[in-house]
Structure 1
Amino acid sequence: MTKKDIYKQELSKLKKVFEDVEESKRKLVEGLVEDAAFLKAENYYLKQIIEKTGMIKVHPSNQGLQKQTEAGKQYLKNINSYSVVIKTLNGVLNKGIIEDDDELAEFE
């Protein structure tokens, strides 16, 4: 799969998750949904590189000398950003669920 395919697949998946969310909230998080799909695609690409090169380069004659690869550094940064974005999106989804539960509590 290409990076573009992964992006489209993830974007489609996330849009489906948010299709039942109130339209104003859905529009509010539209950019975050796109960012999440982008980060997923970027990490897919970086992970392929890391599988070949590893995340750390070790000096051939002195194994105590190690250096993190640029792909490894970027992958970790992207993972952190992706998890923050997903956590934020999940909060929007859960807020809608909690509000629905509160409305039902009034009828008990």
Structure 2
Amino acid sequence: MTKNEVFTKEKEKLTNIFLEVEPSKRKLVEGLIDDAAFLKAENYQLKCLLQDTGMIQIHPSQRHLQKPTEAARQYLKNVNSYAVIIKTLNGVLAKNIMDDDNDLSEFEDE
């Protein structure tokens, strides 16, 4: 799979999840959806690289000396950023569901 394919697939997935959300909230999260898809695609590429290189470099003669690779550092930063974005998007979804439930409860009380 290419980086662009991963981006497109993730963006479509997240966009479909938000189809039932009211238009104003959907418009509000468009940027977050793009950012999440971007980070997912970037991490896909980094993960492919890390499968070959590993996440740490070990000194050839002094095996106790190790350091993380730059790709590993960036991968972890991206994972954290992606998680924050997904948590934010999930909060918008949860708020939308609660609003829908509150709208329905008006009819239940009658």
Band the TM-score falls in, shorter-chain normalisation: over 0.9
Q: Secondary structure at the match of 2:20?
A: coil
Report the counterpart of residue 19 of structure 2 in structure 1: 19
Pairing of 1:1-108 with structure 2 (within 5 A): 1-106=1-106, 107-108=108-109
Q: How big is the shift at 1:30?
A: 0.2
Moved over 4 A (4+): none
Q: Secondary structure at the match of 1:12?
A: helix
Q: Secondary structure at the match of 2:67?
A: strand
The alignment covers a number of residue pairs equal to 108
Root-mean-square deviation over aligned CA pairs: 0.9
| Identical positions, percent | 61
Q: How big is the shift at 1:102?
A: 2.0
Q: How big is the shift at 1:101?
A: 1.6
Q: Which amino acid aligns with 1:87?
A: K
Structure 2 residue runs of 5 or longer lacking an equivalent are none
TM-score by length of 1: 0.96
Q: Secondary structure at the match of 1:62?
A: coil
